Amino acid sequence: EMPDNGLYVEGSVLSRLLMGTVGLRRTRSNRVLVALDAFHDARWVDSAINAVNAARSTYGLETPGIVVLDEPLRLMSEYADSGRATGEVAGLDGLLRAFDQQRGRFDAVAVASSVEVPVAWHMEYFSSSGEMVNPWGGVEALLTHAASSIYNVPTAHAPMMESDEVAAVDPGVVDPRMAAEIISITFLQCVLKGLQKSPRMVTDPQHMIAPGTITASDVSCLVIPDGCIGLPTLAALEQGIPVIAVRENRNLMRNDLANLPWNEGQLNIVENYWEAAGVLAALRAGMSPDSVRRPLGPVSRITPTRAQKSDG
């Protein structure tokens, strides 16, 4: 479940929000269009349709229907030399054509299709105790970034089960962070529930200043894994937004954030999310985070320099 103060937002939209090119407006509900790649095992196609009907009957999802794509949508996962997940999307034109034909009937889009990964990666990933980079996420991000940027609507992808062989993979009890993934068949329900109330995107500068629209000026702080430099980090740097970098959240990035030209006190590097919560609490209370650390050093004494008289 999402907390009351949480918003379901696609990654590239967060970047655009922090860069000041888009605003977010809360909504009571969205009409969620579901795009389904039916060039697939009928068992898993039926499971996806059942997931949509379950959402309609249990929490009242509103949808104009399920668009069955007329050409295959292929998401092929791979790893970059750095170890980061990436991939290739084929058949995007068919997906965009389906969106064009339904334009005006939806406020958000859920895409359900398989992601092609080697069968061995499934067992390796779920047996890695969280050490292996998720092989699905990189190519899914390529797809959703493209769709949300073109149509300015919340977009999310659910990876359909590739085959009965993959469904039969049994890694046993997995890392708690992966447990929700291993028990799902369609991976679609969380996407539908998130998109149902995902905030609308506001791109008109005049509408972005309207009351109730969340913009970069409303962002009090950005929390990131230590070492990560992406568009949100650079946008926060440019706009003077405080940043908390968490060392415990290990990743493949090896950037030294301290080398960026931060304002004094703008970057806070902490060991874990407990500490991050403390820094957030201090910022929310209007306190300097340094003031709650011990030992607390004395205030600096600044002696102004006298102006030099010119010889002229």
Radius of gyration of the chain (CA): 23
Average pLDDT in the chain: 95
Tokens, residue 271: 């060991």
What type of residue is 288?
S
What does the pLDDT average to over 72-87? 96
Distances (CA, A) of 199 to 22, 146, 189, 223, 237: 12, 18, 18, 20, 25
At 256, which helix (H) or strand (E)?
A: none
Structural domains of the chain, ranges and CATH numbers in brackets: 27-198 (3.40.50), 219-286 (no CATH)
What does the pLDDT average to over 41-46? 90
The helix-helix angle for 231-239 and 11-19 (nearest 10°) equals: 20
- The closest alpha carbon to 125, from 163, 74, 86, 177, belongs to 177
* Whole-angstrom distance, CA of residue 256 vs CA of residue 260: 8
Q: Tell me the pLDDT tens digit for each residue of 149-170.
A: 999 999 999 999 988 889 888 9
Q: Taking a C-beta distance cutoff of 8 angstroms, is the pair 114, 158 a contact?
A: no
pLDDT at 310 over 80: no
What does the pLDDT average to over 113-126? 94
What does the pLDDT average to over 295-308? 88
Q: Taking a C-beta distance cutoff of 8 angstroms, is the pair 27, 197 a contact?
A: yes
| pTM across the whole model | 0.92
What does the pLDDT average to over 266-285? 97
